[in-house]
Structure 1
Amino acid sequence: MALTLLLVFVIGLCVGSLLNLVVVRLPREGAFGGWPRCTRCGRPLAWWQMLPLVGWLAQRGRGRCCGRPLGWIFPLVELTSGVSLALLYARYGLGAPFFYLAFVAAVLIVTGAIDWLHRFIYTFVILGAALVAVIGAPFVPHHSLLNALLGALVAGFVFAIFFALARAMYPGRSAPFGLGDVYLAIFIGAAVGIVNLMPAIFIGMLLAGLFSAALLLMRRAGWPGVPEYISYGTFLCIGALGYLLARGL
């Protein structure tokens, strides 16, 4: 069992490496082809630099070709993917729940990483994933088509109200809560269902609130470079993924 879990973890790391390609290339709009390149200088990567987690550690977090920092989010994506698949396999084995939640985890990881880097959520990705979550729900124990639809509708309705309030509070300015967060909530609602919606969403909202409070204290203390807004969707992704890994459906 331990060796099997280790194998699944390694496979998860490789999946995370593929997810990183999406994280890097999706914002470039269509630049999915070609050999992977350094995210800082654009030079082609050697084969060993593409090894999941190992490549980043071997370079000590800096590009071998340019010496510039590569960013911590890329190894974190790979590690999160590996841990997620291992935990899901330990709970469900290779059944429908495993593949369903592995898909959900991949969407949450990619969406959370892109939102953290760019403060942007891709509508076609998240709503397409929500449709897949609804279609796949009847094949997963303790989930159903009705459960997924109710979760999506309730989450979308509540977060649409949040979005309207944010726009009213910040007229003519960039609001801290965007329409992409509404779409993300719809996906989370479809993925976890109405039964698990409240805790899955609440965890992310709590984390976002705590992080916002910390940033506010840092700004008042005179810290330089403190961002005005947070990537709210990232915290929703963290909360939903953490809940699913700890509790399941």
Structure 2
Amino acid sequence: MMLLSQGLEASLLGLLGLLIGSFLNVVIYRLPVILEAQWQAECAELQGKTQLDAPAFNLMVPRSRCQKCGHPLSWYENTPLLSYIMLRGQCSHCKTPISLRYPLVEFATGALFFYSGWQWGANASALAWCGFAAAVVALAMIDWDTTLLPDALTLPLLWAGLVAAALNLTHVGLAESLWGAVGGYMSLWLVYWAFKLATGKEGMGFGDFKLFAALGAWFGWQALIPIILMASVIGAVVGIAMKFSSGLREGGYIPFGPFLAGAGLTAMVAGPNAILKTLGL
């Protein structure tokens, strides 16, 4: 009965994760566009220019639609996973292929929510880790697409980690969480300036500092070395593979955020010590 109850709670959280994953696809696409529009408006205001009123565009409106033909999606075309299968991976109106990434984001979020429910049960700790997983998935995909890690996600994730530690939801002491945040930010900040002074180039963005600080807040300062090691190894392997496959973007730049995010999710599922064992340390 206990396993049945545990499985039911985890399954309900998994279903919630599928729905959240569908919303994350909206966030991943729209948030950078919203931020870009805000930056342009601020620049125009500083220059004394008047901008024409644009149609409302935020995370809620307009309705989701095909990016090729503009066909608005009905509710049954927006059902996580099932819609992609029923539509055979293409728009029902113009038959344009739908990126496989949409159902993969939904599935990954659902799986992480299911794991949280299975590991911690239907309680505040599970919900905290579900929130962590959702934010990290969104940040990874946004950074991969745009090389941006928006403060609108990294800073709430950082503060949420500190609050979760204070409420004993992550089994990380508040002092460990605080120093994890400080250590995460300062370590990459020092690397950034050392690299810039040595080469005159910027090796990473400030968003990476904030994301690593957030991971430190969630896992404590002891987890910083395992997380950065795993992120570096994964990043090196992916970078080499993309170089040989000619998949590198212009300038040969690969954002580091997705690998930090991947290492953070690995730490969530397997634990920081398991990362060291995987790397043979």
Q: Could you tell me the TM-score, scaled by structure 1's length?
A: 0.87
1:57 maps to which residue? 85
1:18 maps to which residue? 23
Deviation at 1:168, TM superposition (A): 4.0
CA distance in 2, matches of 1:53, 1:176: 37
C-alpha contact (below 8 Å) 1:152/1:186 kept by paired residues: yes
Query: 1:191-233 deviations in whole A, cap 9, x for unaligned?
Result: 1111322223322221111111222333xxxx4x532111210
Deviation at 1:55, TM superposition (A): 1.4
1:243 maps to which residue? 267
C-alpha contact (below 8 Å) 1:39/1:70 kept by paired residues: no
Alignment map for 1:121-160 (pairs within 5 Å): 121-139=149-167, 140=169, 142-160=171-189
Unaligned runs of 5+ in 2: 35-56, 274-281
Unaligned runs of 5+ in 1: none
2:122 maps to which residue? 94
1:234 aligns with 2:261: no
Residue 70 of structure 1: which of 91, 95, 98 is its match? 98
Deviation at 1:190, TM superposition (A): 0.9
User: What is the root-mean-square deviation of aligned Cα atoms in Å?
Assistant: 2.2
CA distance in 1, matches of 2:215, 2:69: 36
Distance 1:188 1:13, change over 3 A: same
Deviation at 1:39, TM superposition (A): 3.6
CA distance in 2, matches of 1:77, 1:35: 19
Deviation at 1:40, TM superposition (A): 3.9
Deviation at 1:170, TM superposition (A): 5.5
Query: 1:14-52 deviations in whole A, cap 9, x for unaligned?
Result: 111122221122112152223222244433112221010
C-alpha contact (below 8 Å) 2:9/2:118 kept by paired residues: no
2:50 maps to which residue? none
CA distance in 2, matches of 1:61, 1:127: 35
C-alpha contact (below 8 Å) 2:166/2:174 kept by paired residues: yes
**1:199 partner letter:** P
C-alpha contact (below 8 Å) 1:201/1:236 kept by paired residues: yes
CA distance in 2, matches of 1:226, 1:141: 37
Query: 1:47-103 deviations in whole A, cap 9, x for unaligned?
Result: 221010111222333322333333232212111111001111111102232122111
The structure whose Rg is larger is 2
2:38 maps to which residue? none
Alignment map for 1:7-46 (pairs within 5 Å): 7-29=12-34, 31-32=58-59, 33-46=61-74
C-alpha contact (below 8 Å) 1:203/1:240 kept by paired residues: no
2:200 maps to which residue? 171
Residue 243 of structure 2: which of 209, 216, 219 is its match? 216
Equivalent position SS for 2:89? coil
C-alpha contact (below 8 Å) 1:24/1:39 kept by paired residues: no
C-alpha contact (below 8 Å) 2:227/2:272 kept by paired residues: no
1:191 aligns with 2:221: no
Worse-matched range after superposition: 42-51 or 85-94: 42-51
1:204 aligns with 2:231: yes
1:162 maps to which residue? 191
Equivalent position SS for 1:205? helix
Worse-matched range after superposition: 209-218 or 89-98: 209-218
CA distance in 1, matches of 2:69, 2:92: 10
C-alpha contact (below 8 Å) 1:201/1:240 kept by paired residues: no
Distance 1:25 1:138, change over 3 A: same
Q: Percent identity?
A: 26
CA distance in 1, matches of 2:203, 2:198: 10
C-alpha contact (below 8 Å) 1:13/1:81 kept by paired residues: yes
1:104 maps to which residue? 132
The count of aligned residue pairs is: 242
Deviation at 1:169, TM superposition (A): 5.7
